[in-house]
Structure 1
Amino acid sequence: MNRLKISIYYLQELNYRLAYAILGTFFLFSITYTYKQGLIFIFLPKGLSHFVSTGLTEIFFTYLQLCTIFSFSFGFGIALTQLYLFLRPGLYAFEAKTIFNLLITAIIFYICLYIFLFPIITKVLWELFSDYSQNFTAIDLTFEPRLQDYLSHLQQLSKILTLSFPCLIALNIVQRYTNRKTWVKYRGIAYITAFSISAFITPPDVLSQTLIGLPLIIVYEIQLKIWALYEGYKKKLLIRQPIESHKYPYRDKK
């Protein structure tokens, strides 16, 4: 009977925390939908004053898609926080500390990523690709950006940046149980895995899969290069470290 009461208590607590996450997501959705035009204005490239819409319901569903992405992204963070608070009493001290540090690191990482890095990447990509349409003088070519296409490109870029943190965590976990030679030996399998992940989360076209898979491969190579530099630095540090004779008293006796 006591086990049944405890199970009911935990189920009630889980329902409460799930309700907090759902209510928080709907609250964020209502806020983002209220300020949807200002939200789009934040992501507008410099010098662009208008977008083109070709469908009757395109603007409505574009607003809806943008607000849904934002609310579910923040709601996922709320759900993870509530899940940690639910599991915290049953965890060991080192497990709770590790998960807490990981959660705080992820929150700080994504905040810095989307506040500082995301606008810079968006600006650079816009200036890079918009120059082709402005400099194309062989025929009369007018560039009229569509709102839905622009937000779709931003969504693909957001997927790339969002996957960067889990990939770094997964690579660091694998790094503890393997060596660098194994990474070099099975580099081809890592490439195939990266494109398999990109094929799973993107539409079935080569460009989208390349935009997701190539950054994963770049992250893998950067991690491998940092590992090699760290091992070289560690070897030089061991070579330069002097050997103290008082640590080995048995050598003096011989």
Structure 2
Amino acid sequence: MADHPPSKDDELAGTEQPFVQHLVELRDRLLYSIYGIIVALILLAIWPGPDGLIDFIATPIKHHMPPGAKLIAVGVFSPFIVPLKVLAMAAVLFALPWIMYQLWAFVAPGLYSHEKKFALPLIFFGSALAYSGIAFVQLFVLERMFGFIQNFTPASVAATPDISSYVEAILSLYIAFGLAFQVPIVVILLVRLGIVEIDKLKAFRGYFIVLAFVIAAVVTPPDVLSQISLAVPMVLLYEIGIIAAGWFQKNAQKSEQEQAESEKSSS
């Protein structure tokens, strides 16, 4: 974080580390993150296993397929590659809090105490928002999107999608919604770093609504339902971000004033 209250005694003074030591620390944090993903891979491979994961993510489309129909594997290596891809995707999501913690542990030594109070909840808030976006896709968007699409399927056509293309489609939606749900984090950082004022964000509200629908039209499938399902939450999260930014800003100012007063009284 860029700003910090002036102080005669800088709490970070003397804590600087050589560049090589920073690289070693970065390597260690990356290795810890990889170890966490490997542990998640092993746990998920044991239960529910690749079959269970595929059954779970395929639930929304199965509701709109003919009774007894199954997803097909067109590619020669699809029966082997797709379960591994799904398992890896689930492992990264499962280990996301651990990965975010490693990111926090890497940057924490270079932060002031008041910045740590701000950054730590922001990191875990971002993880929660990413999970919320993915859950929103799985539990709400997919089933309604496939139901909308299947209504246009001619009666003479059997809707039996390829598992590989299906996994790629929902993976892109997971990423799109997971990133789109980070709007409050972006808004809070813009305000906290002094790049944009809250009043300007409020004035930009109308433009953001248009921008949200443009982004939704680009990153989602070409159906109106999925586009609205992404654009509307982005607009709501933008408003939440403005409210949260005001709250963070008010608390940061209060903390800085209290710290400045304590420094004056101690000097």
**Residue number among 13, 36, 46 corresponding to 1:24 in the alignment:** 36
Aligned length: 216
- 1:110 alignment partner AA: A
| Structure 1 pair 198–25 and aligned structure 2 pair: CA distance change class (3 A) | farther
**What displacement does 1:131 show?**
3.3
Superposed CA deviations along residues 122-151 of structure 1, whole A, max 9, x for unmatched, are 222233322333xx34xx222222211221
Q: Secondary structure at the match of 2:181?
A: helix
TM-score norm. by structure 1 comes to 0.64
More helix by share: 1
User: 1: CA distance between counterparts of 2:151 and 2:240?
Assistant: 35
**Residue number among 152, 156, 166 corresponding to 1:132 in the alignment:** 152
Structure 1 residues 148-157 or 110-119, which shifts more? 110-119
Highest CA radius of gyration, 1 or 2?
A: 1
| 2:108 equivalent to 1:88 | yes
Between 1 and 2, higher relative CO (CA 8 Å, sep ≥ 6) is seen in: 2
User: 1: CA distance between counterparts of 2:202 and 2:15?
Assistant: 49
Aligned residue for 2:249? Answer: none
Give 5+ residue unaligned stretches, structure 2. 1-13, 191-195, 244-267
Q: Secondary structure at the match of 2:129?
A: helix
| Structure 1 pair 13–180 and aligned structure 2 pair: CA distance change class (3 A) | closer
CA contact (8 A) 2:33 2:98 kept: yes
**Residue number among 162, 166, 178 corresponding to 2:200 in the alignment:** 178
Aligned residue for 1:249? Answer: none
| Structure 1 pair 156–211 and aligned structure 2 pair: CA distance change class (3 A) | farther
User: 2: CA distance between counterparts of 1:171 and 1:32?
Assistant: 35
Aligned residue for 1:161? Answer: 177
| 2:117 equivalent to 1:105 | no
Superposed CA deviations along residues 140-163 of structure 1, whole A, max 9, x for unmatched, are 222222211221221122122112
**What displacement does 1:211 show?**
9.5
Aligned residue for 1:59? Answer: 79
Superposed CA deviations along residues 162-183 of structure 1, whole A, max 9, x for unmatched, are 1222223223434526253355
User: 2: CA distance between counterparts of 1:61 and 1:108?
Assistant: 29
Q: Cα RMSD (Å) of the superposition?
A: 4.1
- Identity across matched positions, percent: 18
| 2:87 equivalent to 1:71 | no
CA contact (8 A) 2:131 2:178 kept: no
- 2:29 alignment partner AA: R
